[in-house]
Chain A
């Protein structure tokens, strides 16, 4: 075979060209559909123009090849020769267009990819920002809620502690680093005898200490340990009176551990102190009473014998004047001793046998004054009586109570010396159901250092031979037998007595209904 027919080539060209046109149109249809579905897609735009160019290529080529086939088939090659360059030129334009589109698309795609990448980054950043904003918002809300909750807790805590601070019956105070009082509770203000806390705030805490040594000791302890516990001291009130307190103090520090002040609590133990002292006094009295009773009992018998023999000897020596005088002195001194012994026995013996008689205390006072007023007036001492008419009767021993009043009046007389006033008040305290007999004098007053000794047996300020020191001790015992007690105030606590010029007042408390009182004491 030395040739190959070209007819099959032209047939394939003809059919292929037709198929190319058909399939390019189908492809174009889908590309167009895609651009309609997603008009913003660069890919579909590229596909659209890619297909468009290929359709043009297919049509140009298809038509060209078909026309060539027909013209050549029907013997018009010269016509085809003139058309052929146009067909070829169109073909060149079409696939050049496809090439340009491809290069162009690649660049656009890269740009779009970059823009999309930036947009994605921006989108993600935006999402992150939104998340952060939401988290921040949530945190903010939580924070607000937390702050609100914490504020409420703080308010409640503040209320609680404020209540404790304001309502406490103890002294609570705060000082700064220079020991200047910065705040104090109402009880503290009252305890120190002030009316408002502004009068105390700004004053050094040291000023309220009675003993400077105590202040130094306290300061040293607080500086050393950071706190002081149960430190007992005396504070001076506004009016100058003394109160006993137990202080507990702690140092306050700031967040850097530096001392910024101190806080403290003080408990008023004045009353407790008085009660304790009274108890000690009672115990002392009881001990002394027992001792005195023993001594009195032992002395009483030989004293009786001395007195008896002295009287017998007096009869034998009536003619001997010197001996008789001496025996009379012995008898007199023995009688004095006997009276002392009798007093001691009265002090020590607690007997209620004869203290059941119903009596009027005013009557007792008047009885005593009837006897003693004359001698008082001799020394220009006048008695100012303020006896209440509305006082109930009490049960007791008229004689013993008279003795108590005489003893106290004697002491007042001694304290005044010459020229003065003795005030006597009687009154009924309904609340306590007791009668108070107050005997005051305008004398020199009792020095503070001996005030706690005045009820001790044999304690006296009188010169030797003028007093035995048993008057107040015996009185103490008698009043105690009546269920009451004696209180000495020098100077007097109540203003009315001070205004009346009294320097010392002795207050006798006597219960009206002793049985109730005893029951109350028992319970």
Chain B
């Protein structure tokens, strides 16, 4: 299953790359390319995280605290990734007049009408509420791994387990 998923993703990537009309061996890349690459990076990252979740689900590891935090972290990273992906898409769709610039950063505002998409865009911009907990959980997870490994090495020197 994992291999099949990998193949589909690689095929998709291959399609995306080679379906560009102006794709030549050596060429000057236009402005949308950076955005597209960034979006593809998010897709790739999302796919990797889904794959990781799948692996963790397929090969369940003991209910050790470090692994729990690791799984939470992966989950937050996935949500964050989807959020940023969504915000990137919405920002493209957002009309220029929706953001009113002022003389100062303080005066920057998003103007209405506030339909669902615009509200989603606004709250989606607070992505640090997702990525910071993800990083915190990862740090906590690694801290527990460290403790466990040190403890085990003091006693029998065995492995923590693997996945």
Contacts from A to B (Cβ < 8 Å)? 1-7, 9-10, 12-13, 15-17, 19-20, 23-24, 26-27, 30-31, 33-34, 37-38, 41-44, 47, 51, 54, 58, 69, 72-73, 75, 85, 88-89, 91-93, 95-96, 98-100, 102-103, 106, 109, 112-113
Contacts and interface: CB of A to CB of B under 8 A. Distances in A.
A109 B162 CA distance: 9
Given A27-B142, A37-B146, A75-B103, A3 B111 contact: yes
Per DSSP, chain B at the interface is helix
A42 B49 CA distance: 18
B72 interface: no
Given A34-B149, A37-B153, A89-B34, A73 B139 contact: no
B108 A30 contact: no
A268 B139 CA distance: 108
A30 B163 CA distance: 19
Nearest to B150: A37
* 4 smallest beta-carbon distances between A and B, as pairs: A16-B128, A99-B48, A30-B142, A92-B41
Which of B47, B52, B110, B129 lies at the interface centre, i.e. has the most chain A CB atoms within 10 A of its CB?
B52
A58 B135 contact: yes
Nearest to A14: B128
B135 A24 contact: yes
B42 A95 contact: yes
Interface of B: 2, 6, 34, 37-38, 41-42, 44-45, 47-49, 51-52, 55, 81, 99-100, 103-106, 108-114, 122, 125-129, 131-132, 135-136, 138-139, 142-143, 145-146, 149-150, 153, 159-160, 162-163
A2 B149 contact: no
Per DSSP, chain A at the interface is helix
26 contacts: A1-B112, A2-B111, A5-B110, A12-B126, A13-B125, A19-B132, A19-B135, A20-B131, A20-B132, A20-B135, A24-B135, A26-B139, A27-B135, A30-B142, A30-B145, A34-B149, A43-B160, A43-B162, A47-B142, A89-B38, A91-B38, A91-B41, A92-B37, A92-B41, A95-B45, A106-B2
Contact of B51 (A10, A69, A106): A106
B105 A10 contact: yes
Given A6-B99, A88-B34, A23 B136 contact: yes
A95 B162 contact: no
Contacts of A33: 146
Contacts of A26: 139, 143
Contact of A102 (B52, B113, B159): B52
Contacts of B159: 38, 41
A99 B47 contact: yes
A402 to B, nearest CB: 120
B122 A7 contact: no
A37 B160 CA distance: 12
B142 A51 contact: yes
B128 A88 contact: no
Given A26-B143, A95-B44, 11 more contacts: A6-B108, A7-B105, A7-B106, A16-B131, A24-B139, A37-B149, A38-B149, A38-B159, A54-B138, A75-B103, A89-B38
B126 A85 contact: no
Given A13-B128, A20-B132, A88-B38, A99 B112 contact: no
B46 to A, nearest CB: 8
B55 A106 contact: yes
Given A3-B110, A4-B110, A34-B145, A9 B135 contact: no
Contacts of A109: 55, 162-163
